[in-house]
Structure 1
Amino acid sequence: MTSFATRFDAALCLAAQAHQGQVRKGTANASGLALPYITHPVAVATLVQRHGGDAEQIIAALLHDVLEDGGPHWAEPIAAQFGPEVLALVRFCTDGMPDDSGHKAPWGERKEAYLAHLAQATGPGLLVSACDKLANLQAIHLDRVECGAMVWSRFSAGLEGTRWYYKELVATFAGRVPAALDQALKREWQAVDALAAGDGP
């Protein structure tokens, strides 16, 4: 049987390939170096492990944005290398895939649909998705502290849309994920919301 460490390394390689050339928005430092996007899936996998995730959930965390950012053709290699359970978890976390021209449905339409999906959902995908959103909130919090209100210009929906989406996400996960994760989501959301409250019109 293939060891977890070997599967983890393989998933990391596949995710790095799928996200090649992508960077995290607004992460350029004083030297002009932006963080490669792969740092985000690694952060999510770390949170999933910390909050009790199993091997399939941790592997899926590394791959959770591959379909969303890379396109549906990545489904076959995910299934072939990591199995249908991991692919199902990645699909669970995907709120939209680019079409053949690289376009996705409008932001609001995708987020409304994803919130409705989460509200009806059960099972192991909730933990992976919640850790993804926690990693995003942690990054938003740090970026807002360091960069000020300009951080909201990085988001398609701006301040109000981003604030609405994360408020709804945290409420949707409440009581449905491990208590420590639930509390961490609420803490980060409260910190971000308090800062955002001073940035509005």
Structure 2
Amino acid sequence: MTPRFTQALLLAAQAHEGQCRKGTSIPYIVHPVGVAGLVARYEGDEDLQIAALLHDVLEDAGPHYEDRIAHFGERVLRVVHGCTDGVPDATGQKADWKERKTTYLEHLRDADVDTLLVSGCDKLYNALSIQEDLLEVGMGVFARFKAGREGTLWYYGELAKIFSERSCPVGPALSAVVDGLHQLAS
């Protein structure tokens, strides 16, 4: 890795400082680092690994980070935008969950391959986390999500279909994990 990767890691850590994974005490920064690891595993280059580190910055820390992300290049910024399903408004609110997710699913049907890989790794990481939590915590894990059990399973099922249909390298792994989620949640 080059110093660019380290700089991106620092920016992600600053942007997510004080944030935790939904419903846990796990520092949020472990998520983008894990997604970057999956991108590397699926042979994404340094730009895509950097985009993975920064993929939630606009969504979770705000649009004022855009110029700092642009410092890493147009490709990184494009992928970060492509992985963002909603930026908070001036009051910190996002659009309705179902509306954002439906729009994002439609976006993925035509997204470029770079965005598809980073987004797929993000969704795989999240699905694996849900799977682990189902095994450890049980069905209560779904209380963490606005959409509850049904909405969460619907969304990940739709994601798995799209990533598989688009022949994204993470598609088979995501499909397998989503199948496991359905089994554990039934």
What TM-score bracket applies, with the shorter chain setting the length? over 0.9
- Does residue 183 (structure 1) correspond to residue 172 (structure 2)? The answer is yes
State the superposition RMSD in angstroms: 1.1
Q: Secondary structure of 1:185's match? A: helix
Query: What letter is aligned with 2:116?
Result: L
CA contact 1:115–1:169 (8 Å) conserved in 2? yes
- Does residue 23 (structure 1) correspond to residue 12 (structure 2)? The answer is no
- Whichever of the two has the greater Rg, that structure is 1
Q: 2:143 aligns with which of 147, 153, 158?
A: 153
Q: Secondary structure of 2:122's match? A: helix
CA contact 1:127–1:177 (8 Å) conserved in 2? no
Q: 2:45 aligns with which of 43, 48, 54?
A: 54
State the distance in 1 between where 2:147 and 2:185 align: 14
TM-score by length of 2: 0.97
Aligned pairs for 1:1-201 (under 5 A) are: 4-27=1-24, 34-80=25-71, 82-179=72-169, 181-197=170-186
TM-score by length of 1: 0.90
Deviation at 1:182, TM superposition (A): 1.9
State the distance in 2 between where 1:195 and 1:132 align: 21
Q: Which runs of 5+ in 2 are unaligned?
A: none
State the distance in 2 between where 1:191 and 1:106 align: 28
Identify the residue that residue 30 of structure 1 maps to in structure 2: none
CA contact 2:70–2:77 (8 Å) conserved in 1? yes
Q: Which runs of 5+ in 1 are unaligned?
A: 28-33
Deviation at 1:177, TM superposition (A): 4.0
State the distance in 2 between where 1:178 and 1:5 align: 26
